[in-house]
Structure 1
Amino acid sequence: MIYHVTDWDDAYANGAHIPQAEGFVPRWQSAAAAFRKAHRPQPLGRGHLFHPGGTPNGLMVFIHGGYWMRFDPGMWSHLAAGALARGWAVAMPAYTLAPQARIARMTREVAAAVTEAAGAIGGPIALTGHSAGGHLAARMICDDATLPDAVAARVTACVPISPLTDLRPLMRTAMNETLRLDAAEAATESPALLAPRQGIPVTTWVGGMERPEFIRQARLLADIWAGLGAPTDCVIDPGLHHFDVIEGLERADSPLLDRLLVSR
């Protein structure tokens, strides 16, 4: 079967292809607010750092999505539930959104937040993020000194969820009027066009009901980085779409968290 995209805006449109998509944002906001009432976070710049009871087993970092243009960490607090139940601290960094910032600046801001959180929490570091946040999670382990060596050495797993790994197709979408991606930035900010740090297991995780472009992008990173020496896998989670594929982060016993929360 020939795969040929003719409408790039539709190729990256998620809500238009998810039943009752309009109900997800209010539910996320309500769940996140309730979670913060029960688990008061510590500030992490403009983001949040959640502590479990006792000494943390490690640090999980979740980077939010929204096509680098929308949302903030406060929308996703409830996604810390599974890791907290397993005794891990959870950092949810904030970053300046487009058009106020270019993607390269967002990469630097997230790296600074991960470094700050790593200074407060010892042990292994597990990196994840969703959609645009999946892109930023993968960027953290590119072999271009994005993270300081001492911090990167503690990363035991990276699980980008529904990640955007090659930014060049997004230059063909209307959203690029806001993102302002050009060929040079797309090349230097696309994980699939960069080399990974060695020795960090990488699993791209994507819903089986997602748009074909998201499945392709998830496979792309796993395939290319495997060829560059990284231990990789691509999990296509059956029956899940772009908005519910992240729900495994809420459950301590989910396969998603099993893949993410590992230690050497």
Structure 2
Amino acid sequence: MNFKGHGMPQHVYRNLDQAELDREYNAAAHVGDTRPYFDDYNARSAAARASLLFSPDVPYGGEEGETLDIFFQSRSCGAPVHIFFHGGGYRSQDKYNFSFVAGPLVERGAVVVIPNYGLCPAVGLDDIVAQTRRSIAWVYRHARIMGGDPNAITISGHSAGAHIVARALEACWDDHGAPDDVIKAAISLSGIYDQEARRLSFLNQYLRLDQAQSLRNSSMFRTPRRRVPYVIAVAEHETGEYIRQSRDYAQALQGKSYDVSYLQVQGKNHYNILDAFLDFSHPLGHALHEQVFRGSRA
């Protein structure tokens, strides 16, 4: 109910007024000081680049930001390929800050690809979705050259990257020169799947979504084209809206008989959920390992 004219805050999205909405979708403010997390990301990423064999800044398209890093083993041949999409609210961060994601997977025998994409407001959300789909198709076409198996590609993403993963599962891959089953499994970490929340919040000063773009990019109201194993995870110490969005999206797909698992990761927040993701003894990390190495001797 709105209380217009009675001096009460008006509901803007669901039961949230503007201040509540902005607070619920400000993941960084909810955590507090994020610098230690990004300092850790950067240090671990520098160590990964120093210790792993990798090819940096490989172009997958001609637009600004369309480059990717490939991490591989010199003797790899027919290895499973995992693509990770970084977060940053579509307006910040770089693949270099997430090189550390490659380490545990490469050590087990996978090829790992981390793409960049254009950032808002220089590009729009539709552009980012198109770019990241092109990156997946590029990886499929070049998988054998990098020692990978084009028929063993899995994907994951964190925060904004989680939504990129959801949109990738909706793609018609024939339009991109890849088979419809190019993605064999997927994991989304701490994502937002109803973009109306972003459009109506302070975030839209960067995203510049209109209502049509918001609906077009809201995976909450769409479905994947194929029923691949899909894990939708969220940290325990997220805002209530981050948790609700992940839970509701998972339940919506489960209700349509998709192979979806929902996992709330205890003791973690929006940033250190990646630690659980890369720990193969943790239920989330175990799910990643099972997806990537399914049918593999690794």
- The normalised TM-score by structure 2 is 0.82
Secondary structure in structure 2 of the residue aligned to 1:110: helix
- Specify the SS of the correspondent of 1:112: helix
| Structure-1 residue corresponding to 2:182 | 154
Deviations 1:70-103 (A, max 9, x none): 0010000001112112211111111000011101
- Aligned partner of 1:77 among 85, 95, 99: 99
In the alignment, the residues of structure 2 paired with residue 50 and residue 225 of structure 1 have an alpha-carbon distance, to the nearest angstrom, of: 32
1:40 Cα deviation from its structure 2 partner: 3.5
**1:32 alignment counterpart:** 45
Aligned length: 262
Take 1:193 and 1:186, find their aligned partners in 2: how far apart are those partners? 11
Write out per-residue CA displacement over residues 39-77 of structure 1, whole angstroms, 9 at most, x where no aligned residue: 142243222111134225311111000110000100000
Higher relative contact order (Cα pairs below 8 Å, separated by 6+ residues): 1
d(CA) in 2 for partners of 1:174, 1:19: 18
Q: Is 1:172 the equivalent of 2:187?
A: no
Q: CA deviation at 1:252?
A: 4.2
Secondary structure of 2:184 counterpart? strand
1:112 aligns with 2:137: no
Cα distance in structure 2, aligned partners of 1:147 and 1:250? 33
- Change beyond 3 A, Cα 1:258–1:120: farther
Aligned counterpart in structure 2 of residue 212 of structure 1, from 227, 237, 240: 240
Residues 1:215 and 1:14: Cα distance change in structure 2 (over 3 Å): same
* 1:66 match: 88
CA distance in 1, matches of 2:101, 2:52: 12
Alignment map for 1:164-243 (pairs within 5 Å): 164-243=192-271
The verdict on how the C-alpha distance between 1:218 and 1:19 changes in structure 2, with shifts beyond 3 A counting, is same
Identify the residue that residue 10 of structure 1 maps to in structure 2: 23
Alpha-carbon separation, structure 2, partners of 1:203 and 1:146: 25
Give, in whole Å, the separation in 2 of the partners of 1:159 and 1:91.
15
Moved more, 13-22 or 133-142: 13-22
Greater strand percent: which structure?
2
**Considering only CA atoms, is the larger Rg found in Structure 1 or Structure 2?**
2
**Residues 253, 84 of structure 1: CA spacing in aligned structure 2 closer, same or farther, 3 A cutoff?**
farther
1:256 maps to which of 261, 274, 284: 284
1:99–1:224 Cα change, 3 Å: same
Would you identify which runs of 4 or more consecutive aligned residues in structure 1 move more than 3 Å? 143-152, 249-254
Overall identity of the aligned pairs, in %: 23
Measure the CA separation in 2 of the matches of 1:19 and 1:146. 44
**How far apart are residue 197 of structure 1 and its match?**
1.6
- Whether the 8 Å CA contact 2:190–2:270 is kept in 1: the answer is yes
TM-score of the two chains, using structure 1 as the length reference:
0.91
For residues 235 and 282 of structure 2, what CA distance do their matches in structure 1 show? 14
**Deviation per residue, 1:111-146 (Å, 9 max, x gap):** 111111122221311110001000001111115448
Task: Write the distance in 2 (CA, Å) between the matches of 1:150 and 1:199.
Answer: 17
Contact map agreement 1:73 1:93 (CA 8 A) in 2: yes
Alpha-carbon contact 1:111-1:146 (below 8 Å) kept:
no
Contact 1:49/1:117 (CA < 8 Å) preserved in 2?
A: no
Bigger shift: 115-124 or 236-245?
115-124
